[in-house]
Amino acid sequence: MGKKHITETSKEETIKESEKIDQNLKKDVKIKAGNRVLEGRIYVSSSYNNTIVTLTNSRGQVLSSKSAGGVGFKGTKKSTSFAASKVSEAIINVCTKLGMEKVEVYIKGIGAGRESAVRTLVNKGLNVVLIKDVTPIPHNGCRPKKIRRV
């Protein structure tokens, strides 16, 4: 398989990364600087191809949105659980910048990343009050095909 390369980041590189996150946060967050958002909602939409995590305030106004493709994954790697955990980490960074205390999590879809995204949100110290599955379920299904006449 080959040798594994271990990379060590210096303090300067971590400072540059945090500044880059701050710049992206200023672009993403559509509220005035200095305002704190105490409560919010996180919507995790997981499909077979991608995982999208959206952060809103308690009224439902979008503050930030991240996807596996936006974080840097391409192709089939976007649908993995590892990509979903990285997306949730990016949203957690936004939450800490806003000073969010309580979060409700709504999960939608059947992709591979739905559980790992929620696990990452809980393990990274975010105060999750509610976890709810809002995946749409068909009640009676599609109308069946008409009977073939020969």
pLDDT digits (tens, 9 = 90+) for 78-116: 989 999 999 999 999 998 888 888 999 999 999 888 899
Neighbours of 106 (CB within 10 A): 17
Neighbours of 21 (CB within 10 A): 15
User: Largest Cα–Cα distance in the chain?
Assistant: 77
Q: Which sign does the torsion angle of CA 118, 124, 126, 128 carry?
A: positive
In whole angstroms, what is the distance from residue 67 CA to residue 91 CA? Answer: 10
Architecture, CATH, for domain 34-48+57-133: 2-Layer Sandwich (3.30)
**What ranges make up the beta strands (E) of 47-84?**
51-57, 62-67
- Residues of the chain falling short of pLDDT 50: 31-32
Q: If you search the block for the tokens 């979008």, which residue do you land on? A: 62
First-residue to last-residue Cα distance in the chain: 60
pTM of the model: 0.74
Amino acid identity of residue 46, one-letter, is: S
Question: What integer pLDDT is reported at residue 149 of this predicted model?
Answer: 92
Question: What integer pLDDT is reported at residue 138 of this predicted model?
Answer: 83
In whole angstroms, what is the distance from residue 109 CA to residue 85 CA? Answer: 16
Question: What integer pLDDT is reported at residue 1 of this predicted model?
Answer: 57
